[in-house]
Structure 1
Amino acid sequence: MPAQHPPQTSGLDPRVARLAAVVERQQQEIERLRAERDGGLLVPVAEGILVERLGYSPAEAAAHLTELAGKTGVTVPELAADLIGGAVRPPRSFPARSDEMPDFARLPGRDAEDAALLEEVRRTAGAAAVALWQVQPDGALGLAGHTGLDLLEASRWRHLPVLMDCLPQRAARERRPHWVPDAETTPGLPLLADDLGGARAVVPVTTSRSIAGVVEFVWPAPLPGFPPERRRQLTALAALCGREIVLSAQPAGTLPSVVGLLDAGLFARPRTDESGHVVDFEIAQVGEDFEDPGGRSPRELVGRGMTRVYPLLCAYGLGERAVEVLTSGASRQLGPIPMVTRRGDAATPAMVDVRITRFLDGVRIGLTIGHDEHRLAQLLHNLQHIGRLGSWEHSVLTGEMTWTEQTFELFGLPPSAGPVSWDELCTYVHPDDLPIVRAFQNALTTQEAATVFRLIRPDGTLRQIRAHGEPVTSETGELVAVRGIYQDLSAQYQSQVALTATRDRLADSEHEARQQNRIARELQQAILPSSRPVDMNGLCVAVRYRPAAQEHKVGGDWYDATVLPDGRILLVIGDVAGHGIEAATGMVALRNALRGLAVTGAGPGQLLEWLNTTTFTVNRGVTGTALCGLYEPADRTLTWARAGHLPPMLVRDGVAEQLPLPRGILLGARAGVRFEESVLRLRPRDTLVLFTDGLIERRGVLLDDSLDRLAAAACRSGTDVEGISDKLLAEATSDTEDDSCLIVIRVPDPVTSA
């Protein structure tokens, strides 16, 4: 196979040239893929415009677009882009006569079409007034249009400086909407049309370039809130105003006259994600004298992200430096950085210095391109030193070995000693690794190869070395040399050893934690009553306990169902805060204390008061929720009280609903509190469900939604308490992050019981 050599520059290290060639090929491939993607998106849009404007069929539009591209000498995607960019906005079906126009103001330079759009947006939103501001070069907001405001009020809000604290500027600075159901909740803040009061929605008009404007909706009275569908509607209406009035007023990428300050640089605005973090910078304007290293025109740069246009510069920290400049206002420099410059079909390695300064709402980036080969060589030397890389080349024809300075440093040898020959290399290798190195040397005669071995330096120290090499052949395919690099991995190896030791220690700790959790789990299982269904004085009762999906999440969920000496049935469910042995022992203490107190004949409210007192005297530090009920079989009456716990769910006549909440705070929260009692008379065929929050709480799911799902499941789970319990547990997802307890009681049908 002929030798593959990269483009050479006089006196330039071949490795830099190879790096430059690789980067160049990657950039060309990115450009090709981007062109294919953009073309695939633009062409159908352009065909749609022809169908709408000229009445063509889809096939005729495609043929016409191809024909026009052939006549003008441009590609179909390029022609599609021009057609879309010059397309005139379609007329809207708004009234045009002055006597039919609504009462709104129109700013100079805005046509009746824009004013009618604002009025239509106001009507759709059901608002009393709508105002639209455009972001100015200095960050201020200039009123671009309004409806529902008198001229005096509009004049007050015509110009909003950057430092003015108001809702529109807050929305622009924070790049997020502000939803204000009641203006009374913003005391001291200046408000648009403050005489109207009511609700406000302030929505920024965003583009990929950042913030283009802000739209504020004003209602004459407070609103109950802004549900998701309402927010989506207002956001869409704001985007419509911004697109049709603000963005359409100037060509894409244009800036005010101050862009002359860019001279030989480019201007980029930040792109942010939903949380407001800068993820990229988009090129918004290119100076007339700017020299692009890739030889691209301003049209090819505007609107594109820096990470796509200059991936190598971003790899060297361009994005991070730009964020620092945007945040602090201080200028930053970067470089020199090796890049590939293109002039026509020629690609040449070069050095690029970058200077970043704050400009308007973005950054100015200036690039200085140099072709100093000495600086390129020096940079390569520095990179090799930082990466602890050393190059080598062995001539098969002469037996001569060539090393770089860094290779001598890796081997711990002075350059005056000369490089270690190909055959002598094994004398510096750990004996156990000799077979690996010999196999590596043999493989290099025919193919690329890599290995890792231990190097013994003259001072007796060991180094972990990664070796990578490749054969070099002549044009006739004859092997003439082998070459490659050595890299010192000792630091990474030592870190790996330390991590392994740490992992072992963590494994021991995890084993101890698992032991504690096992004890806690066994303690729970030993103390909680059986889950078998029982008949208590005519009341069918079933209990369930399900542990958390994660073993280390053993919690303090507990329940009790027992017949007291006076014939009443004690029904209790609770949840002690925390996990592990402490939570389990706290659960045992509360359960046993309540069982002992219940034989006194006191009501559930009094029982919870006594139980709360024990948390401050006997079981200090224990907190938790509890629900205590006493069922009287004679008249089917349930008297119950709660301490911060979720209320029971009653299923009656096919309808499930939660019982009203009596007052009662968390156990252990405050001493001397009283717990209100509630009385429920149950009917035959009634089902009552008591549960802990682990049954319904799910990450990312609203509590109300979980309760609704539990209610629906309870209604369709039949009449058998055991079957109901199993179905309710099955309805709840099994990967819960907390324990779950469940008590299902049912008053049987007298006819069925008989």
Structure 2
Amino acid sequence: MPSPLSADRPAPQPHERDAVDALIHRARQLRGEVDAVRRDAVLVDEEDPHTRWQRALCELAVHHLDDLGTRLGQLREGLGPDAPHPPRPPGQPSVKTPSRTAPHGGAAPPGSGSLIGRVGSAEWDLLTDEVTWSDELFQIFGRSPDAGPLSLDELPSVLLPEDQPLLTALVTDCLVDGRPIDGEFRILRTDGRTRTLHMMGEPVLDTDGCTASMWAVLRDVSELRHNEQAVLRTRDALRRRQHMARTERRMAVELQEAVLPPWRGPLRLPSRGAGALDVAAHYLPSESSSLIGGDWYDALELPDGRTVLTVGDLTGHGVEAASAMAMLLGALRGMAVAGVEPGALMGHLNRLLESSVQPALGSAVCCRFDPATGTLAWAQAGHPPPLLFRNGEGRPLPSPDGVLLGAASGVAYERDEAQLLPGDVLVLHTDGLNRHSDRGAGPDALLALAPRFARARTAQECVRTVVTEFGGAERLDDACVLIARIGA
């Protein structure tokens, strides 16, 4: 910043005192609000990159507002009739000001207390070789006033070696070409601490227009730069985390789409013969599209003409849940084609999930329908039972015993049977429809759709009814629904 008597520009005119008071009040009010946000950020998860980024931004804003408040306070003091330390014109004797002291009586270290202690001024007289430092500048450099100020030739010796050429270039440009100084460099104090200083200054010209001295203000911006770096680090960490989350979600979606049945419209199973099932299914995503879970549905025609219907849900989200679902569904299909009956099949899936490298819990229901006899054999593992709709009324099938997959070793899963009639509608669903936040969705809400299912002519129409009823809800988890309508 320019000396008050710089020959090529006049000293600025003072502002009105009441206007400065108003600015000080507004700055303090804003500082308090930002500090409140900063305190709130400390109370939340310290490991969250977004929280660290928010807190770092608040720290940076508080430093800027503290600095602004200090400058306005100095301006206000300078406007008063009894201002003790008006700006000193170059060449006049310096006026000593009381130094800030630490509790033990020594000089307060830079960065403690008010920002005033982090700003100091200096003047290097080229004609007399006199050097004048403010008391604050001695504190910033960690230098005893008894040792005296550093000359321009001595100043680079306290800088880090890699920053010395920068200071030399700044000073040369100022003294030779008359350019203003505006740059930063790092110093190594005698106490071993490294500080970052921002230096602003200009040449002071004599009456002939020649450079008589150099006047500068040096500010310790170590905390400010530290907070800026924290903002950059947390922002980069947040971006990396967001990128990883997007990549993981894309992988989970691709894996899920590759594993779930390729058919999206209605399906007839078996493809020939009387009593075939008209099958349709739908996947309902959660409120957060990033939560790709381990829900599945499947309908599979067996070599003997019977049909397997299954839905299930694994705990967790993302690639791990989707990959575990792929493993489990693949095993289920293989065992079903091999003729393993539903109860024994659940037991094998339980042992498979138990021995998995990434243990998880899951629920499932597996039904095997024989179109020749109309018999439905089924078993469940901690899963909501199938719902049977007949003649405009619905009811859940009585559940055979079965615990969650992966919850216990050596458990047996019971099997039960039900007789289905032409026109019956069978609904299998995962418990994502049972969340209380889904406007009361669950078995009762599904059973209330019985009259609408009775009017539907296809399984696809029944699925549309379920999606219309529950698809717009704010779902905490994803869900699947599979509907089979028994043909004549």
Q: Same fold (TM over 0.5)?
A: yes
Q: Which amino acid aligns with 2:120?
A: G
For the residues of structure 1 that align with 2:356 and 2:116, how far apart are their CA atoms?
73
Map 1:555-566 to 2 at 5 A. 555-566=293-304
Structure 1 residues 746 and 410, CA gap change in structure 2 (3 angstroms) = same
Contact kept in structure 2, 1:651 and 1:657, CA below 8 Å: yes
Structure 1 residues 622 and 634, CA gap change in structure 2 (3 angstroms) = same
More strand by share: 1
Contact kept in structure 2, 1:558 and 1:587, CA below 8 Å: yes
What does residue 402 of structure 1 align with? Answer: 86
For the residues of structure 1 that align with 2:347 and 2:292, how far apart are their CA atoms?
27
CA offset digits 1:593-631 (Å, max 9, x no partner): 122212333321121122222233466624311100011
CA offset digits 1:96-144 (Å, max 9, x no partner): xxxxxxxxxxxxxxxxxxxxxxxxxxxxxxxxxxxxxxxxxxxxxxxxx
Map 1:16-95 to 2 at 5 A. none
Structure 1 residues 687 and 619, CA gap change in structure 2 (3 angstroms) = farther
Of 377, 380, 391 in structure 1, the residue corresponding to residue 74 of structure 2 is 391
Matched, 1:710 2:393: no
For the residues of structure 1 that align with 2:459 and 2:18, how far apart are their CA atoms?
81
What does residue 553 of structure 1 align with? Answer: 291
What does residue 533 of structure 1 align with? Answer: 266
Contact kept in structure 1, 2:438 and 2:474, CA below 8 Å: no
Structure 1 residues 385 and 525, CA gap change in structure 2 (3 angstroms) = closer
For the residues of structure 2 that align with 1:4 and 1:737, how far apart are their CA atoms?
58
Map 1:78-477 to 2 at 5 A. 390-392=73-75, 402=86, 409-413=117-121, 417=134, 461-462=196-197
Structure 1 residues 408 and 402, CA gap change in structure 2 (3 angstroms) = farther
For the residues of structure 1 that align with 2:220 and 2:468, how far apart are their CA atoms?
56
Matched, 1:505 2:188: no
CA offset digits 1:374-412 (Å, max 9, x no partner): xxxxxxxxxx89976652255699x99737976863422
Partner of 2:316: helix, strand, or coil? Answer: strand
Matched, 1:624 2:332: no
Q: Which amino acid aligns with 1:508?
A: R
CA offset digits 1:511-560 (Å, max 9, x no partner): 12322221221111112112221111321101222333434311111121
Contact kept in structure 2, 1:641 and 1:678, CA below 8 Å: yes
For the residues of structure 2 that align with 1:493 and 1:458, how far apart are their CA atoms?
11
What does residue 162 of structure 2 align with? Answer: none
For the residues of structure 2 that align with 1:594 and 1:408, how far apart are their CA atoms?
73
Q: Which amino acid aligns with 1:503?
A: R
For the residues of structure 2 that align with 1:737 and 1:725, how far apart are their CA atoms?
20
For the residues of structure 2 that align with 1:599 and 1:5, how far apart are their CA atoms?
88
Structure 1 residues 534 and 678, CA gap change in structure 2 (3 angstroms) = same
CA offset digits 1:282-327 (Å, max 9, x no partner): xxxxxxxxxxxxxxxxxxxxxxxxxxxxxx9xx99xxxxxxxxxxx
For the residues of structure 1 that align with 2:352 and 2:116, how far apart are their CA atoms?
75
Partner of 2:410: helix, strand, or coil? Answer: coil
Matched, 1:741 2:483: no
What does residue 518 of structure 1 align with? Answer: 250
1:698 to partner: Cα distance? 4.6
Contact kept in structure 2, 1:412 and 1:457, CA below 8 Å: no
Structure with the bigger RCO (C-alpha within 8 Å, sep 6+) is 2
Structure 1 residues 490 and 402, CA gap change in structure 2 (3 angstroms) = farther
Q: Which amino acid aligns with 2:265?
A: R
Q: Which amino acid aligns with 2:317?
A: H
Partner of 2:295: helix, strand, or coil? Answer: strand
Q: Which amino acid aligns with 2:354?
A: F
Identity %: 35
Q: Which amino acid aligns with 1:721?
A: A
CA offset digits 1:561-615 (Å, max 9, x no partner): 0111111110111112222222112111111212221233332112112222223
Structure 1 residues 497 and 714, CA gap change in structure 2 (3 angstroms) = farther
Q: Where does the alignment leave 5 or more consecutive residues of structure 2 unmatched? A: 1-15, 37-65, 88-96, 99-113, 123-131, 137-166, 168-181, 188-194, 201-218, 271-275
1:5 to partner: Cα distance? 5.9
Partner of 2:74: helix, strand, or coil? Answer: strand
Contact kept in structure 1, 2:267 and 2:279, CA below 8 Å: yes
For the residues of structure 2 that align with 1:464 and 1:554, how far apart are their CA atoms?
53
Figure out how many residues of one structure are paired with residues of the other and give that number.
327
Map 1:641-652 to 2 at 5 A. 641-652=379-390
What does residue 693 of structure 1 align with? Answer: 431
1:699 to partner: Cα distance? 4.0
Structure 1 residues 727 and 500, CA gap change in structure 2 (3 angstroms) = farther
Q: Which amino acid aligns with 1:621?
A: P
Of 223, 226, 249 in structure 2, the residue corresponding to residue 491 of structure 1 is 223
Structure 1 residues 464 and 697, CA gap change in structure 2 (3 angstroms) = farther
Q: Which amino acid aligns with 2:226?
A: Q
Alpha-carbon RMSD: 4.5
CA offset digits 1:338-364 (Å, max 9, x no partner): xxxxxxxxxxxxxxxxxxxxxxxxxxx
For the residues of structure 1 that align with 2:356 and 2:79, how far apart are their CA atoms?
85
Partner of 1:402: helix, strand, or coil? Answer: coil
Contact kept in structure 2, 1:391 and 1:407, CA below 8 Å: no
Map 1:653-664 to 2 at 5 A. 653-664=391-402
Contact kept in structure 2, 1:648 and 1:658, CA below 8 Å: yes
What does residue 43 of structure 1 align with? Answer: none
Structure 1 residues 722 and 388, CA gap change in structure 2 (3 angstroms) = same
What does residue 599 of structure 1 align with? Answer: 337
Contact kept in structure 2, 1:555 and 1:577, CA below 8 Å: yes
Partner of 2:448: helix, strand, or coil? Answer: helix
Structure 1 residues 716 and 617, CA gap change in structure 2 (3 angstroms) = same
Structure 1 residues 489 and 662, CA gap change in structure 2 (3 angstroms) = farther
Structure 1 residues 391 and 670, CA gap change in structure 2 (3 angstroms) = same
CA offset digits 1:391-441 (Å, max 9, x no partner): 2255699x997379768634224898599xxxxxxxxxx9xxxxxxxxxxx
Map 1:674-693 to 2 at 5 A. 674-693=412-431
For the residues of structure 1 that align with 2:342 and 2:424, how far apart are their CA atoms?
21
Q: Which amino acid aligns with 2:249?
A: N
